Structures are given as C-alpha cells and as structure tokens.
Structure 1
Amino acid sequence: MEPSAQPPKADTRLPRKSGVVPPKTLRDRLLHRLPRYTGPYNVGYMDIEVPAREPRPVSGLKRGGKPVLRLDTVLMAIYYPAEIREDFKTSDGKEELHRIDWMPRPRFATSKGYAKMMNLPWPPVTGYLASTTLFTKLPAFRNAKLAQHWPEDMKNDSGPGGQAAREEESRTETNPKFPVIIFSHGLGGSRLCYSAICGELASFGFVVVALEHRDGSAARTYVSLPGNIEANEIESSTARIVANNDDDKEHGNKRVKRRKKQELNPYYVVDYILPKDNAQDTSPHNPKGVDHKLRTAQVALRLEEIKEAFHVLELLNQGGGEEIARINLRKKGNIGSSSLGLKGVDWDDWKDSMFLDGVTIMGHSFGGATTFQACREDQLSWIGQGVALDAWGNGTPVVGDAPEEKVSKPIISLSSEAFIHWKSNFDRIVGICGEARDARQLCWMLTIVGSTHLSMSDFSVLYPNWMSFFMKSMVNPERAFYLTIAATLEFLDTTLPPQQTKYNTWLNEQLLEAGDQTKPDETLFPDHAPDDKWVAVRLKIPNEFWARIRAWFRRLRARALCRATDELDMVNGLRDFSEQPEIWTHLRPTRSQVDAHMRRASSTGQGQRSSRASK
C-alpha cells in the first residue's frame, strides 16, 4: 500500500498581535538560543514543588533491601499564556521580569548528572555545556501575569453564527479560560528539556504542566524535603540525603553536605537509575529485552505524580493559590530554587482560569509510554486524550485482555523517521493504536520525514549540527517542531470539547485529513533505513557528501531570493521538501469514523468540535 502523504502547504501561522517580543540579549547572540514562540500570547513560567499528599515508597521494587522509588514531592514547571508589558516589568511596574535558565538549577551540578548518565568525565561535559547552553535562557518570563484577555485574532469566524455571534458571546466572558496539557519527559529529560514545545503550546493559549519525574529517569533531580519529613525517615537505595555541611562525604548512598555562607534546607538527589544487570534495556539489540519490572514501577510513580499535579491544578482553579505558595518548596532556602520563588504571582487571576475536564496528557519517548498508560487508567477520568511523541512502545507496561487495561481515549502518535525502522517498537505502537481503535476512539499514527529521536526535544534546536552530523537528521529542527505543533493542535481541535476551542488561532495545515487508509505501512523509504546497529538512533544518508552540497546550494539560493521563513524552514534540512512529503500517515480514522465520533460526543452533551479534518 502506498503511503499517505501530504505535500507542504503555506505556513498558516498568524502574525503576532498581542505578544511582546523579548529583546535579544548578548547571551542570546553569543550562546546557543531557543526559538521564540509564535503564538499570539507571551509565555509565563512558574516552578512549583509541593509535598505529596501521602509520601511513600511506590511499588515493591527494592535494591539492597530498600525501596528504589519514592513519592515525597511533585515538581512541575507551568508554562502559561501571559500578559507582558512593553517594558518587561511586572503588572504594577515595580520590578523587572526575569527569563528562565534552560539548565535546571543548580546548573553545574545538573551538568555533572548528565555526564554521569552518559558515563563520561564531568569536567569536559560541564565545560562544553558552559560554553554553549549552560546559561541559555527561555523566551518565557518567571511569574508573569496570567493573560486576562482573548487576543483579537482569536475570535475566528468558524462555527454557528460566524464571527459576530462569537464576539457577542465573548462579551459575557470577562476572562479567558485555558485548556490544560500535562507533559511527561523522556529518559534523561527534565521539566525544561521540552521548553520549545511546551512554550509554543502555551503561546497558543494552553496551560502546560511539565513534570520533572523522580523515578530515576531524569539525568539528575533534586527533591526538597518538606518540614514534616525528617531526613532519617527517607529509606531509598537511590536517595542521597544532603544536609548542611562544608565537605562532601559519602556514607553509603547518602551524601552529606554543609554550606558555610548559605545554608540550604535538607534535600536528596535522585540520579539516573540503570536497570540492574541490564543497563542497555533501551537498546533494540539487547538480548535481555526491556526491564519491565523497573519500567513498570517507574510508570506507576509517574502516574502518581500526574495525579498530584492535577490536584495542584484543582487547588489553583478553586482559588487556592495562596495555599500552594505557602507550601511551595521551590523558594529561597531550598535547593535548585530561584530567589523569587512565586513572588509576584496574582493568585486571583488563576481562579477558574483552566478547563480541567478533557485534560490532554502528552509525552516524549518514555513519556510517550506514560501517555499511553495514562490513557488506559480508568481512575484518570479527567484525561480526555493523549499525544505521544516518538513513544518508546516497548517500554509501555504489558497489559492483559481486560477492557479497562487498554487505551480508551483518542490518541495521536507522532514518530521520528529513525524510530519507524525499529520494527518491534513500530509493531508495539501499532498494537497500542489498535487498542484505541477497538475502543472506537479516534487514532492517528504519523511520522515526520527526516527526523530522529531528539528532533522533538530542545537538544535538536540547541545542537542542530551535532544532530545533523551524528544522528543524520535531515529535517530542519525548527520545521520539525512546527509540524509537531501543527499536528498536535489539529488533533486537539478535533478532540477537545467545543468550549475549549471556540476562540483559537491554532495552526491547521490539514495534516490529519480523514481518509480510507486503515492498515499501517511499515518502512516507507528503505534507502534511509540505517544499518542494523544504528536502528532507532540515526538515519542513513545515501551519498551524504553530495546531499550536503545540494542542501547548501538550496539554502544559498533561498536566501538569495529572499524567500519567506516557512520556505527556508523546508530547505534548511538535508532533504528537499518542496516536492516531497513532510509527513507520512500510517494510521488514521475514516471520515465515517470521525463523523460517528462527533455524533456520539454530541449525543452525550459533551459535543466535541469537528475540525477541518472531517471535511
């Protein structure tokens, strides 16, 4: 069966009308920088870490007789639509707003965590990061005011009654109310490693909660100890308790530390956890396969953290922001905290500011596996749909035959080209999509041509040359981000309740057009299939030298002709997308399935707005 592919269309991003563009700093000009967000909103950012309601070990997994995984606190970054003054000061004009460090604090210690995870000496790793991204800033502002307006260009003319009816309806709505996305990072990630995607979605009117998991999947994360938990109560084979002292001393798994000038409250460090006697369980060639005992336990902890994050959102939405600020552990005196904490946040703005029905769960790699499992959980009834980015399907917990153990929500799986050549993973994703289809839920399975696994993380835009030369990525990283966001927004425009989508300027390139294809294609362009040892890691570029020369001439010609940015996005990769597909469609619902879904939703009073995908 021939692949279903869409030719590239004109960039439909609307011009910025309400956003205030952050100025380029000297740091932005000299160091690697992240792309600015393109939606009509500026982006605010908050760090929140609160004690879990029931601190405890999670799962029965033990090493050395001690629990491996614990739930003590939940740490999240909240990216949200913000109102920014032209002078980049707080709403009262008294203080200047601050941008966010991309590397989580403490930055040098976190960089050492990356070195340890990669089994490399820390001095060269830290030195390289210091010269490139250790001091990179996000184009988002800490504790900025939550947006209190609908941008003018968000009142579109779609739907019954057209623009006039919508404008009349909007007059009765004093403040906007935003849909919510909860984001789960992959192995080695953090709450900041996907800031380009999370911030871009926030700029289009979403509240995006990016968790930093404490399941041993982050390169390094710091857990502040609440006042009601004593350090000696923490029993974990991976926790290293850090108190206040001047010298680093190792006591088994506990490292004690004192500081003379600035004392910090006790905390513990969770570094990346390798499977026991199976360190390479993520490798496609590992004869032992996936360590499902560890991975299932990690997913279980991730789901508990997701529940805790949703509880925080409920409190904020109910007007409990002051209570969240009171118990917040990311404040002065605690490890990894900005001195600002949550200072300057107007919690009244957050009351009744979010739609907490039909929340979207989204994740990359192992976070994609978490997304699929969350869409199986009956207890997470407030989750409406899932977006899996290059999911590690083999890391998803194996389920039984019971209906409640299968995906029962609409899902979209967006993969990199490198991952579709990993046959066992491809087959696993197809099987998970089959669960959704068996449950009569809408399901799409797409691949971004020329992309590799890290194309959906910030690393691709911060280190594009490394991605091109070592991972053999052939797509421009910013174009890959654009396609990821465009497909995600079209999916959400179809699956979210209509009250959450009635005012939007979301991208629509009709990437998700309904059709008749019902069977998945596997390897579509075998010329780019890597050698067996590089499966899922990188692609093969036939005649690589000449491919790079041709790409250089395409870029030179495009710049000489002063082509538009969207055209440059397409030619800046090694592949020429002017006449070739950018996205392959493996699975999609038929028009009749989309129509049936809309009828079922409408009949239950929870009608969901049909996008152009069903037209």
Structure 2
Amino acid sequence: MGHGGSHSLGIPSGKGPHLVGCIDIMTDHTIQGSFLRLYYPCVHREKHQQPLWIPRHEYYNGLADFLKYSRTITDYILKHLYGSYSVPVEWDAPFKSDGKYPLVIFSHGLGAFRTVYSAICIEIASRGFVVAAVEHRDRSASATYYFEEKTRTNSEGEQLSIPTISTLTLDQLEEKWLYYKPYKRGEKEFPFRNHQVHQRGEECTRALNLLTNINKGIMVQNVFPLDFDFSKMKDCLDLCKVAIMGHSFGGATVLDSLSKELRFSCGVALDAWMFPLEDDIHTRIQKPILFINSEKFQWLTNILKIKQLDSTTIQRKMITIMGTVHQSFPDFTFLTGHFIGRMFGLKGTIDPHIAIDISNKASLAFMQRHLGLQQDFDQWDALIDGKGEHIIPGTNIPLPPSNSQSTQ
C-alpha cells in the first residue's frame, strides 16, 4: 500500500456522482476585488477543454521567488516538470441547476495560488458542493494579478474620462502582477503575518459576498470573457450551509474567518500554521473545527495553540494522517515522481492518493455533521475520531502531561 507506483502522475478526478466544471472569476478588476477559481457540479458538453494546471508563466516566476531560486532556471525546470499538466474538470461548462448546493470557501497556503489545491476542490465539488478557491492578494501567494485602467489621452495629451467598469474591455485594462513578498530580516514577523491573515479573512468574506450576490441573481461583471451563464446559479446555493477550508496559512485563515464571519458554520484546517493568529483567537470562535495534520509538519508550540481551541461544548477535533508531509495536501504531490518528490519534501511515505482520500472523507463527514447535510458522508464518521488505517486521533507530537488529552 505504501508506494505510489500504481498511479501515473496527474491530478486525480473526483470520485463523487457529479461531473465538475470550473471557471475563474475576477470581479472588480482592481486589487480590492475578488479573484477566485470556482468548481461546481456541471452539465457535460461534447466539446470541452481542460484548463492548464499552472495557468500563466508568471506563476513559475513567483514560485522561483518563493523558493529563492533563479527565475530563469526555475521557470525552465518547473515548465518542464509541470507545464503540460491540466486539471481534470470541464472548463467553462454549464452549471447544473439541480437543488441547492452547500458552499465551501478554500484558502491556499504560503507561496501557493488558486489552482494548487485542485485535487481537494474537485473531489468536494464532485460530492455536490460549490467550491470557491480564493487567490489571496496579501503577497503570500507566489504570484497573483489584477488590472489597472489604462490612462487614455486625446491628441492634445489631455486625459479622457474613464468609462464605467461595465463598459471596460480587457484591452482598456493593464495587468499588474503581485509577487510573493518575504518578510525582511530584522523585521518582526508576527505583525507582518498577522496583517496578512486579516486581509486573507476579508478576502474569504468578500468571496462569500460575491457568491451571495450570484445566488440572488445579481449580474456579475467578470473580467474574463467566458460563456458561463451565471443566471443558472440563481437560488442554487444553500447559503445556510457554508464551510471554510484551508491549508497551512490557509488554516490560520480558516480560524481568522470563523472568528469574524458568522455565516461560516464550520471549518476544516489542514496542517494549520497558527503563528499568524493572536494568542486569544480561541476566545473568539464559537464554531466547530476539524484539524487534519500531517505527520511531519507539526511542532509543540503550534499544537498547543491548536489545543487552546479544545472545547467541551463545541466540537473540536484533531487527527493526524501518518506517512504524510506538509506538502501532502497541495497538488504537487500528485505531479512529482517519487525521487524528486521525496527529495523536495513533496511526497511522504504514504501513497498520496490514499492520504488525500482520508483527508477528503474526514472533511466531508465533518461538514455533513455540522452543515446538516442529507448525504452518506457519515459512513466516514470514524475518521473524525482518528479511527482507521494510517490515522491517529490527536497528534503524534509528545505533549506535556497536562495537555495529553487528545482533541476529542
């Protein structure tokens, strides 16, 4: 079981009953707007394409900056390794209007961007959710972009008035790229990261507001020219059933969002990085949370901060998937061969398909329980308690005696 030899490289497609469609939405082209990738149950179209996994070469430059390697070399290597992969979804496929779908907002980790967790997002969408993977603009993404209006001048060189957004076309807009910003040595890291996590929380709320408007049938001005008919989504989201998920810095974002935005009913934090959060964050969250940890990432102070969220009245659960590393959650683990994967910490000792499957099933069972879904995800309830192959309840980190009760 422990070896990934049985699968060829590629992002796994969803196992649920729904075919998954995908679009990108950028509304309000400015840096204040929302930028996200939407995964949703779709209607099959005969002629369809799959989007590239890394949509623009600028993301390679951003990854190079994040990894502190030369852009030229990294661009070449990454393009060679990952450039040909596409995502197993139907791009711009029609939305399947069929009852009401619960909603998940997904927040990426440090150095990532909106497409990097597609395996998780696709699986959850295939089970009958709409999933919005936010691309954060707090400079924690490898790269991201927005648009500025080109200043237009007449023949005398006077500036002309800018048309309203509804009449702006892409050729009147100029792309602006934002790359990963490392914090400077000697600078205090906490204020820097804390500021970022608050912006990330706001961006998750903004994504929820955008989807609320779409659900009301309010017209969306999407910067990207797509065929997608947003009116098909009207009244198709169950906005009483909204969860938030995220990995690493995205796990911190889950907690920040749950502390501020009451419309999120529960959270799933994958290998949460607790450092960016205030010490009293546990006093401000009244929602159920599932922490899913990898075996190799966690350390004592991080775990103790998670354990402050223990509660006798609100369900807080922590499980650890053995054989996993921090990078067992993003897609790189499925797209990298064994040797390079182990060398760069992109693969653990467990087959990545088994690991992500455990994580997804535990997440689905937890969301069913706390969003009140009428599905069969409760068949995986045991995973929430850390019962099963490759998982343990609580943490593998040795705790001081007073804290050794696992998060049950």
Hey, what does 2:165 align to over in structure 1? Answer: none
Q: Matched residues in 1 for 2:246 and 2:281: separation?
A: 23
Indicate which of 430, 446, 453 corresponds to 2:307. 430
Indicate which of 357, 374, 379 corresponds to 2:240. 357
The answer on whether the counterparts of 2:319 and 2:385 sit within 8 Å (CA) in structure 1 is no
Hey, what does 1:81 align to over in structure 2? Answer: 41
Q: Which amino acid in the other structure matches residue 232 of structure 2?
A: D
Q: What whole-Å deviation, never above 9, does each CA across 1:467-492 have from its counterpart, x for those lacking one?
A: 33443711111111100001101111
Hey, what does 2:359 align to over in structure 1? Answer: 484
Hey, what does 2:203 align to over in structure 1? Answer: 305
Query: Shift of the alpha carbon at 1:217?
Result: 0.5
Kindly indicate whether residue 402 of structure 2 is the aligned counterpart of residue 587 of structure 1.
no
Number of equivalences? 374
Hey, what does 2:68 align to over in structure 1? Answer: 119
Kindly indicate whether residue 333 of structure 2 is the aligned counterpart of residue 460 of structure 1.
yes
Aligned-partner SS, 1:393: coil
Query: Shift of the alpha carbon at 1:73?
Result: 1.8
Q: Matched residues in 1 for 2:273 and 2:241: separation?
A: 24
Kindly indicate whether residue 369 of structure 2 is the aligned counterpart of residue 494 of structure 1.
yes
Identical amino acids, percent of aligned pairs: 30
Classify 1:482/1:191 alpha carbon distance in 2 versus 1 (closer, same or farther; 3 Å): same
The answer on whether the counterparts of 1:50 and 1:75 sit within 8 Å (CA) in structure 2 is yes
1:262-281 paired onto structure 2 within 5 Å = 265-278=173-186
The answer on whether the counterparts of 2:272 and 2:291 sit within 8 Å (CA) in structure 1 is yes
Query: Shift of the alpha carbon at 1:135?
Result: 2.5
Hey, what does 1:129 align to over in structure 2? Answer: 78
Q: What whole-Å deviation, never above 9, does each CA across 1:547-591 have from its counterpart, x for those lacking one?
A: xxxxxxxxxxxxxxxxxxxxxxxxxxxxxxxxxxxxxx9421xxx
Query: Shift of the alpha carbon at 1:194?
Result: 0.2
Kindly indicate whether residue 321 of structure 2 is the aligned counterpart of residue 398 of structure 1.
no
The answer on whether the counterparts of 1:183 and 1:361 sit within 8 Å (CA) in structure 2 is yes
Aligned-partner SS, 1:198: helix
Q: Which amino acid in the other structure matches residue 45 of structure 1?
A: C
Hey, what does 1:33 align to over in structure 2? Answer: 10
1:80-99 paired onto structure 2 within 5 Å = 80-84=40-44, 88-89=45-46, 96-99=47-50
Aligned-partner SS, 1:72: coil
Classify 1:271/1:521 alpha carbon distance in 2 versus 1 (closer, same or farther; 3 Å): closer
Q: Matched residues in 1 for 2:377 and 2:267: separation?
A: 21
Classify 1:139/1:459 alpha carbon distance in 2 versus 1 (closer, same or farther; 3 Å): same
Indicate which of 222, 225, 229 corresponds to 1:328. 222
Q: Which amino acid in the other structure matches residue 184 of structure 1?
A: S
Indicate which of 294, 303, 306 corresponds to 2:192. 294
Indicate which of 15, 20, 29 corresponds to 1:43. 20
Query: Shift of the alpha carbon at 1:449?
Result: 0.3
* TM-score, length of structure 1 as denominator length: 0.57
Structure with larger Rg: 1
Q: Matched residues in 2 for 1:507 and 1:42: separation?
A: 22
Q: Matched residues in 2 for 1:34 and 1:390: separation?
A: 20
Hey, what does 2:166 align to over in structure 1? Answer: none
Q: Matched residues in 2 for 1:514 and 1:268: separation?
A: 45
Q: What whole-Å deviation, never above 9, does each CA across 1:377-435 have from its counterpart, x for those lacking one?
A: 1xx1111001000000122233379x4xx221000000000123x1111212212x22x
Query: Shift of the alpha carbon at 1:268?
Result: 1.6
Classify 1:266/1:143 alpha carbon distance in 2 versus 1 (closer, same or farther; 3 Å): same
The answer on whether the counterparts of 2:269 and 2:292 sit within 8 Å (CA) in structure 1 is yes
Q: Matched residues in 1 for 2:341 and 2:274: separation?
A: 23
Hey, what does 1:604 align to over in structure 2? Answer: none
Aligned-partner SS, 1:454: helix
Hey, what does 2:215 align to over in structure 1? Answer: 317
The answer on whether the counterparts of 1:44 and 1:146 sit within 8 Å (CA) in structure 2 is yes
Q: Matched residues in 2 for 1:306 and 1:483: separation?
A: 25
The answer on whether the counterparts of 2:136 and 2:203 sit within 8 Å (CA) in structure 1 is yes
Classify 1:521/1:400 alpha carbon distance in 2 versus 1 (closer, same or farther; 3 Å): closer
Classify 1:368/1:521 alpha carbon distance in 2 versus 1 (closer, same or farther; 3 Å): closer
Indicate which of 47, 52, 65 corresponds to 1:101. 52
Name structure 2 gaps, 5 residues minimum. Answer: 2-6, 153-169, 388-392, 400-404
Q: Matched residues in 1 for 2:144 and 2:210: separation?
A: 20
Hey, what does 2:160 align to over in structure 1? Answer: none
Q: Matched residues in 1 for 2:269 and 2:281: separation?
A: 21
Q: Which amino acid in the other structure matches residue 483 of structure 1?
A: I
The answer on whether the counterparts of 2:268 and 2:291 sit within 8 Å (CA) in structure 1 is yes
1:179-218 paired onto structure 2 within 5 Å = 179-218=102-141
Query: Shift of the alpha carbon at 1:146?
Result: 1.7
* TM-score, length of structure 2 as denominator length: 0.84
Aligned-partner SS, 1:357: strand
